[in-house]
Amino acid sequence: MSLHGRKSLLGGCDTGNPVDHCWRCDPNWANNRHRLADCAVGFGRDAMGGKNGKTYVVTDPRDDPVNPSPGTLRYGLAQDEPLWITFATDMTITPKHNLAVTSYKTIDGRGAAVVVGEGGGCLELKDVNHVIVVGLTVRNCRPTRQPDGAMSDGDGITVFRSTDVWIDHCTLEKCTDGLVDVTEGSTRVTLTNNLFRNHNKAVLLGHSDVFTQDKVMRVTVAFNRFGPGLVQRMPRCRLGLFHVINNDYVDWKLYAIGGSAAPTILSHGNRFLADKQKEITKRDDTSKSVWSSWTWVSEGDLMLNGAFFRSSGDGGGPDVKTPSFAQSASLMSAMTASVGVLSCKKGSLC
């Protein structure tokens, strides 16, 4: 069926964003929540979350790390079985220390205004797989003392040594360190439809230049909006392979896309709006004789008001092949019109 035909059948709700098109046109989305697990794109597309599990409803915003009560988010996240976690009502959760997310969990904030952080810890994925996080506001995350006595960094969502992770339609801002960190050999991760704003270091992908386990890292960053109020790391990459597809960059102070340790980066169909003539890219503390061999490709990007991308390498090979879901930068306004947390009401289109 043609795109025009799909629009007619769906009442005009098809924006060209393949993730949203997969589920947002269904007025019964609240009764078909598990359908979301079939909608991811990119390297994290196989993340199942709690697709095959029961529904667990969070009814209590309180947090007791020692003896979590049934009905709290921490209690649900601690269960060994797959769970699709939803929220009974609007709530703000201030974790006493980071919330440890276990494998095969979906944290689904759609239909409620759910805030995590606000002066406490936030979300930590460590040595897990198949996790989906959707529809949360994550803000004001602060360092907290963890069960082992160590202090956390105050990141919004931290992903350590984990695979098959998808973060969608979240709003992240004003944390102590990063908004999203993906490190220590994590791979098959997708970040889509998120709003990153009011922060310094937005998204870190890769632990350090010498942590060679991150060579396996494969991360897709698509359909997000970066800004206003951002400084750098949108994302900052190391060692692995990174697809940065159809994102809207409305503000950056130092740089938008950066990296070190020879990451491979495909930038496709993004819209970069600079406040003056300004470079999009940055290679940290590396001479041109070194970085000139790194594969950094700009393909179909829309660069406005003096924005410019410094490409390098020989164009790469199959690793930098444009993914099938990628769209033209001319569709950016429609594709990113609804980034961040959605105002979803049961019984109507989300």
- Provide the residue count of the chain: 350
**Superfamily the domain 18-192 falls into:** Single-stranded right-handed beta-helix, Pectin lyase-like (2.160.20.10)
pLDDT band for position 149 (cuts 50, 70, 90): confident
Would you state the pLDDT for residue 10?
38
**Pairing mode, strands 271-273 and 296-299:** unpaired
Would you state the pLDDT for residue 146?
81
Would you state the pLDDT for residue 120?
97
Would you state the pLDDT for residue 216?
97
- pLDDT by residue (tens digit) across 65-95? 999 999 999 999 999 999 999 999 999 999 9
- pLDDT by residue (tens digit) across 238-282? 999 999 999 999 989 999 999 999 999 999 999 999 999 999 999
- pLDDT by residue (tens digit) across 20-46? 999 999 999 999 999 999 999 999 999
Would you state the pLDDT for residue 181?
98
Please check the confidence at residue 63 and state whether its pLDDT lies above 70.
Answer: yes
Which of these ranges, 48-52, 111-115, 129-133, 317-321, has the smallest mean pLDDT?
Answer: 317-321
Please check the confidence at residue 14 and state whether its pLDDT lies above 80.
Answer: no
> What is the identity of the amino acid at 163?
T
Which of these ranges, 2-6, 190-194, 269-273, has the smallest mean pLDDT?
Answer: 2-6
**233 catalytic per annotation:** yes
Residue 1 vs residue 64, higher pLDDT: 64
339 Cβ contact partners less than 8 Å away, ≥ 6 residues apart: 169, 193, 194, 195, 223, 224, 225, 248
What pTM, to 2 d.p., does this model score? 0.95
Q: Single out the catalytic residue among 197, 218, 225, 233.
A: 233
Would you state the pLDDT for residue 225?
98
> What is the identity of the amino acid at 192?
T
Average pLDDT over residues 147-169: 93
How much is the mean pLDDT over the chain?
94
Please check the confidence at residue 1 and state whether its pLDDT lies above 70.
Answer: no
Average pLDDT over residues 297-310: 97
Average pLDDT over residues 292-317: 94
Please give, one letter per residue, the 3-state secondary structure of the chain.
CCHHHHHHHCCCCCCCCHHHHHHCCCCCHHHCHHHHHHCCCHHHCCCCCCCCCEEEEECECCCCCCCCCCCEHHHHHHCCCCEEEEECCCEEECCCCCEEECCCEEEECCCCCEEEECCCCCEEEECCEEEEEECCEEECCCCCECCCCCECCCCCEEEECCEEEEEECCEEECCCCEEEEEECCCEEEEEECCEEECEEEEEEECCCCCCHHHHHCEEEEECCEECCCEEECCCEEECCEEEEECCEECCCCCCCEEEECCCEEEEECCEEECCCCEECEEECCCCHHHHCCCCEEEECCEEECCEECCCECCCCCHHHCCCCCCCCHHHHHHHCCCCCCCCCCCCCCC
Domains of the chain, by residue range, sit at: 18-192
Please check the confidence at residue 341 and state whether its pLDDT lies above 50.
Answer: yes
Would you state the pLDDT for residue 2?
31
- pLDDT by residue (tens digit) across 281-293? 999 888 999 999 9
Would you state the pLDDT for residue 313?
94
